[in-house]
Amino acid sequence: MSGKTYQIALIPGDGTGPEVVREGVKVLQAAGEKFGFKMEFASFDFGGDRFLRTGEVLPDAAVLEFKKFDAIFLGAIGHPDVKPGILEKGILLRLRFELDQYINLRPVKLYPGVETPLKDKGPEDIDYVVVRENSGDCYTGIGGVSMKGTADEVAVQNMVYTRSQVERCLRYAFECTRKRARKKTLALCGKTNVLTYVYDLWERAFHEIGARDYPDIRREYYHVDATCMWMVKNPEWFDVIVTGNMFGDIITDLGAITQGGMGIAAGGNINPAGVSMFEPIGGSAPKYTGKNVINPLAAVCSGMMMLEHLGEEKAARSIERSVIFVTGKKLKSLAAGKMGYSTSEVGDLVAKNLT
> Which does residue 236 touch among ligand IPM, Mn ion, none (CB within 5 to 8 A, set by kind)?
none
Q: Which CB, 249 or 312, lies closer to Mn ion?
A: 249
Q: Give the dihedral sign, CA 112/113/119/120.
A: positive
Q: Which helix or strand (DSSP H or E) is residue 41 part of?
A: strand 38-43
Residue among 127, 249, 308, 320 that touches ligand IPM (CB under 6 A): 249
| 139 has catalytic annotation | yes
Q: Tell which residue, 91, 182, 188, has the closest CA to residue 132.
A: 188
**Min dist. Cβ of residue 321 to ligand IPM (A):** 27
| Residue 298 lies near ligand IPM (rule: CB under 6 A) | no
Angstrom distance (rounded) from CA 118 to CA 120: 6
Q: Which residues contact 118 (CB under 8 A, 6 or more apart)?
A: 125, 126, 232, 235, 258
Q: Which of 100, 125, 253, 348 is catalytic?
A: 253
Angle, helix 224-233 to helix 245-258, in steps of 10 degrees: 10
- Of residues 248 and 347, the one with the C-beta less far from Mn ion: 248
- Is-contact 13 77, C-beta < 8 A? yes
Verify whether residue 191 is a known catalytic residue.
Answer: yes
Residue choice 88, 100, 175, 220 for contact with ligand IPM (CB under 6 A): 88
Q: Which residue, 122 or 143, has its beta carbon nearer to ligand IPM? A: 143
Site for ligand IPM (CB under 6 A): which residue of 20, 21, 92, 242?
Answer: 92
Q: Which is nearer to Mn ion, 285 or 351 (CB)?
A: 285
Residue 231 binds what, of ligand IPM, Mn ion, none (CB under 5 to 8 Å, by partner type)?
none
Q: Confirm whether 253 is a catalytic residue.
A: yes
The catalytic residue among 139, 161, 199, 214 is 139
Q: Which segment (50-58, 86-94, 146-154, 155-163) binds ligand IPM by CB under 6 A?
A: 86-94
Binder of ligand IPM out of 30, 31, 76, 93 (CB under 6 A): 93
Q: Which residues contact 74 (CB under 8 A, 6 or more apart)?
A: 10, 11, 12, 13, 17, 21, 92, 277, 278, 279
| Chain positions contacting Mn ion, by CB under 5 A | 249
The one catalytic residue among 191, 214, 222, 239 = 191
Element (H, E) at 204: helix 198-213
Task: Rank residues 92 and 201 by Cβ distance to ligand IPM and give the closer one.
Answer: 92
CA angle 277, 281, 282 (to 5 degrees): 130
- C-alpha 48/C-alpha 80 separation (Å) is 8
Active site residue 120: no
How close are the terminal C-alpha atoms of the chain, in Å? 15
Cα dihedral 234→236→241→247 (10° resolution): 30
Query: In the bound complex, what is the minimum distance in angstroms from residue 88's beta carbon to ligand IPM?
Result: 4
Q: Which stretch binds ligand IPM (CB under 6 A): 85-93, 144-152, 182-190, 228-236?
A: 85-93
Q: Which residues are catalytic?
A: 139, 191, 225, 249, 253
